[in-house]
A and B are shown apart, each in its own frame.
Chain A
Amino acid sequence: MYVAAKGGERAIEAAHRLLAHERRGDPSVPELTLAQIGEQLTLAVDRVMTEGSLYDRELAALAIKQARGDLIEAIFLLRAFRTTLPRFGASEPLDTSAMQMRRRISATFKDLPGGQILGPTFDYTHRLLDPELAAGEAPHPPSRAPSSDAAMPRVTDFLADDDLIERSPGADTDAAVGDLTQTPLEFPAGRDVRLQNLARGDEGFLLALGYSTQRGYGRTHPFAGEIRMGEVEVSFHAEEVGFAVPLGRITVTECQTVNQFQGSATEPPRFTRGYGLCFGHCERKAMAMALVDRALRTRELGQEINAPAQDEEFVLSHSDNVQATGFVEHLKLPHYVDFQAELGLLRKMRTEFDAAREPEATREAAE
């Protein structure tokens, strides 16, 4: 009986076999392929790539399959693989104004150069369950328009031309890009590290924090200046050849918020920015990220910090769902020896408590 209280090697192996069995489900149902996940659960793949911070659709699909659809577990699998990869360096900054646009909307201007492109969106769909989809259906082919290679300026650039919005902070091109997977997080964190942290951060956590700023906990008066999604080129400066070499194209979603700002002692009144960027089509995440990015600039803009979303240490220390899930779930590990110590203290305190409540006479007699 005593031995049974401890887990064993055989128990672990049996549990893992059972897990694999449950993952497969009913063997009479065809097994999922990575291509099916990659093609039909695209937004799950996008989220896993974003928070797993590795752009690889096939590995993300494998992670989702292996994790039985648990996206945080899939993110964890992808991160644990990513961490073993060699680092060659950092790419050149992405030029999202040269994006091959699949979606581009602005909530601040009715029309604008380049126009509004709705693209593949759930927006304006009626959320009615579709029985025809349950049976499987071949959708109508989408309408097509000639694609344009012309650069599409960002909405915030129009405002910047009139100095009505702060300049995008220019990065110091000589300084190395911060990377919190290579250097531990320090406070105050620079903009690069903050954005990296938020890009890897849990969508649900950022969503709730962004939402809280809208409900008055650190209001930032945001407008969705622009949301764009499409393909951008990634290039890498190769020392050997002396110029930037294109590596390929990736899909990203970018959100820039335009936030009202009354000005402070040091800053003139003008709009300020919040920025969000994710792999693939992760619009909710990009918007939440932009809201939280702006909220975290409270101190920098000379405003008072009084809400959770404005508190850099609080937000950046708790945004990572791989860290969070690990530590929450570690409570499942045995804590026998600490619990035993607590039990000992509790028994001692109970004895003292009971002794103190005994009648005076009994206690004197005892002494």
Chain B
Amino acid sequence: MSHADLTMEGHSAGLTAGTPFSMPTKKFAMWLFIIADTMTFAACLVAYGFLRNGTANWPRPFHSITNVAIMTFILLTSSLTMLLGVQAARAGDKAGAFRWTMITAAAGILFAFLHVREWLGLIDEGMTMFKNPWGTGLFGASFFSITGLHLTHVTCGIIALVAVGLRYKGGRYNADDIEVVGLYWHFVDLVWMFVVPLVYLLNLSH
């Protein structure tokens, strides 16, 4: 066996080696992204807690939680519709998978609309990144940073859902891709479960 043969053999063995944890590469990459993104959100939320704890006059601007309750319901429900989409894709129901994926994207758009409406309401009351009528200006910076980061994720998720859904419908993507974008969408939902109590519920005016 020549040196070239040995090299080729080693190379091909590397190429055909199993993926880590026997999962598809795209899915593994998405999990790595999710773990990294968890750290980003966790750092933001811990920093928020640090500031809130260390600031005496922390504002409590939320008189009603109806809006955030509706937003939470929409996001949780969108996770269920995403699951239905993934199950339909696995079952080979192409039309069903596409329909549920688009319903999930529509729920995301509704969530984003309610979020932007809430932002505009707070801005109307005089809140900016650096000042607000209720207390320390740090509140605006941290509120817009955390909810803005989450809203950016939601927006990216909507774009990804539509793009993947259309390509799946067109036959260029398969059930793997629907599942991978689904993982991302569930993660966005999971983060919201921590944003709501820390940023909204803890700042209710009593």
Asked if A pairs with B, the answer is no
Q: Which residues of B contact A (CB under 8 A)?
A: none
